[in-house]
Chain A
Amino acid sequence: MALDPKIRINLDRSRVLLIDDNPQALEALNSMFRGFGVRKQFKCSSGAEAMQVVKSQELDLIVIDSSMPDMDGYDFVRWLRREAPDISKFTPVIMLAGHAARSMVEKSRDSGANFVVSKPFTPEVLLQRVFWVAKDERQMVVAEGYVGPDRRFKNMGPPLGMKGRRKDDLSTHVGAATAPNMDQSDIDMLMKPAKVQL
């Protein structure tokens, strides 16, 4: 389900790190986030370069391509979640994934990114994921084999606007009010036992 186009979103003050080894894809991402209203963007073409930014800047979101030479997106997120300075360790991450080679499936699952967006995608989909990340209330799990958001959505309900995969999945988000608030006398009336004629 698409993001409601009327929802207001303010990314003016967000500091976003974009990482992609392909200069054209990096420039395209930069343009998309400029369109979303993000003023402060850091662009990196490698994991090593991005590590320096993480060590020296406070970031609100990291968007990284999964396949890069030397240090791929998965290795970067592993480093971030385990070895980055404490202030940056749990920075939300959106991973952009192209083809998932068989050898990469487990690595991808265990990397610790908040969301994976598979290519091709539109700016609309990317914005929706940014919104989901902002509303992501899952706890971080710190375990020997995995550091990242709790992969179980069951307790939190599916992301906002999504139906969920199980028949008993209910979103925990309460939508915006559609009618004026009840006044106190209406509420009192609801609580007041009243005789009914059967």
Chain B
Amino acid sequence: MSEAEFVKVKYRLAEQVAQPGGMTAGLANERAQRELAAHAGDAMKSLGNMIGRLEVMCREKTATLDVVYVEGSTILDIAGVFDKRVLCDACYSLCELVDRQRTHNRPDWASIGVHVSAMRLLWSKDGEDPASMKSVVDGLWAITDRLNP
């Protein structure tokens, strides 16, 4: 086996960030928040549609676990960029649950259904009553943890 080689790299980014001008990190953050806020409404609508697709899957029970996982991780993708923390936690629990179910080859639509209903609730109560919403997510993790990784 050949030996590892170490290469010293100088990033152009390092010089650029230190150039005079630019803005403070605080201002950059504020501007980014403002830009992001313009997309938040559309994002919430899409999240609602995706949860709807999961609801259909739970009713029909014909989708494969891979399909449920992909839908769940897409929700996590969008909710994650918009910092929807509680919905992300619930969705992470769903992805983890489905990942464990496919590892053990034990699909269980009831536990998936509980997750999807909870995600609908969290989506509809976006940002409201964080303490109660956290207890909902804790409940979801209790279900997920019943199945060993």
- Give the B-binding residues of A (Cβ under 8 A): 3-14, 20, 22, 24-25, 27-29, 31-37, 60-61, 65, 67, 90, 92, 96, 98-99, 101-102, 119-124, 126-127, 130-131, 133-136, 139-144, 146, 150
Contacts and interface: CB of A to CB of B under 8 A. Distances in A.
A102 B104 CA distance: 12
* Interface band, chain B: 35 or more
A150 B32 contact: no
Given A37-B22, A141-B5, 15 more contacts: A6-B24, A8-B25, A9-B23, A12-B22, A20-B77, A36-B31, A90-B9, A98-B95, A123-B33, A124-B29, A127-B25, A127-B32, A139-B7, A142-B5, A146-B4
A102 B22 CA distance: 41
A143 B21 CA distance: 39
A120 B79 contact: yes
Closest 6 pairs (CB-CB, A-B): A119-B80, A10-B22, A35-B32, A5-B26, A123-B32, A99-B95
B32 A133 contact: no
Most buried by B among A8, A11, A29, A130: A8
Contact of B18 (A4, A10, A101): A10
A9 B17 contact: yes
A46 B16 CA distance: 27
B98 to A, nearest CB: 9
Contacts of A98: 73, 76-77, 80, 92, 95
